[in-house]
């Protein structure tokens, strides 16, 4: 990304407030209705690390913005491919619980709004091997955003739900950490608790 535009992005993001309370690093996912019912309700909280810079970026540009080289700064048309780490705390070195693999594309001609199309694959505890599909519009400069959860696999087969997301930090190189608080409803399988 051009430096000036990145700087604008960072400054705007700095204005967002971090979540009032970071979650405890253990118990990142928990069943809200243990003990049964036809449906499981699960709350998952983790941090998403989108790292477009450095030696080993986890987000790479695969399509340039249609407005490349102009003063238009919405990046309309740009497509990024991700393999972003999901961890229990905002610290990138904290325990890894999954990866967000997919794309986000800059979908607005006038502001920084992306369309996310990602599979969040989990690798920890009872959710190891299960995944969630997150697809939707994400106006990345807004403090509080909501993304739809449209499906999943494993424990989250036939899932539906929503993710409440908030940017926690953004550095001068465009590396961003986003807090996810996800609530998922899925038909209970024999594997649940």
Largest CA distance in the chain: 58
CA atoms of 175 and 166, how far apart (whole Å):
14
Q: What is the nearest approach in angstroms of ligand NAG to the Cβ of residue 54? A: 26
33 binds ligand NAG (CB under 6 A): no
Contacts of 33 (CB under 8 A, 6+ apart): 39, 40, 41
3-state secondary structure at position 125: helix
Strand partners, 113: 139
**For the window 144-163, what string marks contact with ligand NAG as x by the rule CB under 6 A?**
--------------------
CA-angle at 13, arms to 24 and 146, nearest 5°: 60
Tokens at 129, concatenated: 């091997």
Of 33, 53, 73, 105, which lies in the binding site for ligand NAG, with binding defined by CB under 6 A? 73
Q: What is the nearest approach in angstroms of ligand NAG to the Cβ of residue 55? A: 26
**For the window 1-20, what string marks contact with ligand NAG as x by the rule CB under 6 A?**
--------------------
Number of residues that bind ligand NAG (CB under 6 A): 15
181 binds ligand NAG (CB under 6 A): yes
CA atoms of 77 and 61, how far apart (whole Å):
11
Tokens at 87, concatenated: 């961890």
Instruction: Report the residue number, 119 or 183, with the smaller CB distance to ligand NAG.
Output: 183
CA atoms of 29 and 6, how far apart (whole Å):
33
128 binds ligand NAG (CB under 6 A): yes
Tokens at 192, concatenated: 């649940």
Instruction: Report the residue number, 45 or 49, with the smaller CB distance to ligand NAG.
Output: 45
Q: What is the nearest approach in angstroms of ligand NAG to the Cβ of residue 164? A: 5
Instruction: Report the residue number, 1 or 81, with the smaller CB distance to ligand NAG.
Output: 1
Q: Cβ of 78: how many Cβ atoms within 10 Å?
A: 20
Of 53, 72, 105, 169, which lies in the binding site for ligand NAG, with binding defined by CB under 6 A? 72
Binding site for ligand NAG (CB under 6 A): 23, 45, 67, 72-74, 109-110, 123-124, 128-129, 164, 181, 183
């Amino acid at each position: 990304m051009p430096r000036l535009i990145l700087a604008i992005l960072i400054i705007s993001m700095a204005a967002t407030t971090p979540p009032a309370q970071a979650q405890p690093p253990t118990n990142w996912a928990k069943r809200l209705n243990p003990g049964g019912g036809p449906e499981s309700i699960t709350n998952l909280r983790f941090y998403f690390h989108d790292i477009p810079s450095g030696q080993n970026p986890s987000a790479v540009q695969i399509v340039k913005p249609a407005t490349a080289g102009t003063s238009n700064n919405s990046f309309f048309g740009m497509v990024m491919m991700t393999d972003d780490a999901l961890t229990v705390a905002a610290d990138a070195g904290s325990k890894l619980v999954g990866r967000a693999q997919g794309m986000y594309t800059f979908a607005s001609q006038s502001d920084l709004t992306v369309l996310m199309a990602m599979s969040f694959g989990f690798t920890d505890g009872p959710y190891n091997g299960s995944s969630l599909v997150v697809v939707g519009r994400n106006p990345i400069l807004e403090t509080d955003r909501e993304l739809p959860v449209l499906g999943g696999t494993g424990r989250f087969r036939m899932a539906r739900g929503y993710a409440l997301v908030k940017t926690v930090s953004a550095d001068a190189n465009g590396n961003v950490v986003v807090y996810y608080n996800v609530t998922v409803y899925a038909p209970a399988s024999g594997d649940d608790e």
